[in-house]
Amino acid sequence: MFEARLVQGNLLKKVVDAVKDLVTDANFDCSSSGFTLQAMDNSHVSLVSLSLRSDGFEHFRCDRNMSMGMSLGNLAKILKCAGNDDIVTMKAADDGDTVTFMFESPKEDRVSDFELKLMDIDSEHLGIPDTDYAATVTLPAAEYQRICRDLSSIGDTVVISATKDGVKFSSSGDVGTANITVRQNTTADKKEEQVSIDLKEPVALTFALRYLNSFAKATPLASHVSLSMARDLPVMVDYQISDMGHLRFYLAPKIED
């Protein structure tokens, strides 16, 4: 039996909204340590990795490891029916073919439940090694979203280069070129405006903006996002979900033909 109660139910809604355009169907894996998802987008260019630790739930019970295949579009439709402040409880039997979502209003005057049909999804699980990144920039999530959006009107790809002077995002296309540089700013008045750069060695990589833009759909989940880069390796775009875990996206760099 699997049962998980999440007081901040809208967090689940935000997670699903962040990945549903990238991944159509995915397996959610439940174990005593938590609720996780790992999935590649349809074209196998990027990887999504979600981890919600069991201790972040008000109640969490998972008697045996299980994998629940869901259509993220259908899951999003169901979660849309939850009120913003509702408590969400997920329930599934060990051998069932459905998962139930129960929504409770904070005043306890409205309770609803929605059953979602599970699906069999073939998916290979990838091992993501701990990487010694050459550079990590942590910037406001809204700033990352803006950079990706602004550069998308100029070109299809972005070169992200991290040097001691800052992290530069460059794009070019028919319109012309654009460069946006963010510099370390750990003394900003507001904590949510701070930018920090951890640079071990300079690194520059090229990425498809379409995917970086799609990752920015996770903006409502966290105040900040970290981009970690190492030569010839996928960038890790990491949104920390407070007290619970993370939603990470990995995107393979573009390389010369």
Partner 1 sequence: MKQRDISSFFGKA
The contact set with partner 1 (CB under 8 A) reads 40, 44-47, 124-129, 157, 206, 208, 233-234, 250-257
Closer CB to partner 1, residue 37 or residue 139?
37
Distance of closest approach, residue 197 Cβ to partner 1, in angstroms: 24
- Exposed/middle/buried for residue 229 (C-beta within 10 Å: 0-12, 13-18, 19+): buried
Closest CA to 249 of 57, 81, 50: 50
Distance of closest approach, residue 36 Cβ to partner 1, in angstroms: 11
Closer CB to partner 1, residue 56 or residue 253?
253
Closer CB to partner 1, residue 76 or residue 159?
159
Distance of closest approach, residue 38 Cβ to partner 1, in angstroms: 8
Closer CB to partner 1, residue 108 or residue 257?
257
Distance of closest approach, residue 229 Cβ to partner 1, in angstroms: 13
Distance of closest approach, residue 47 Cβ to partner 1, in angstroms: 5
Closer CB to partner 1, residue 77 or residue 210?
210
Could you give the CA distance from residue 149 to residue 182 in angstroms, rounded to a whole number?
A: 15
**Given the structure tokens 């039996």, which residue do they identify?**
1
Could you give the CA distance from residue 34 to residue 222 in angstroms, rounded to a whole number?
A: 20
Could you give the CA distance from residue 141 to residue 222 in angstroms, rounded to a whole number?
A: 7
Neighbouring residues of 43: CB distance < 8 A, sequence distance ≥ 6: none
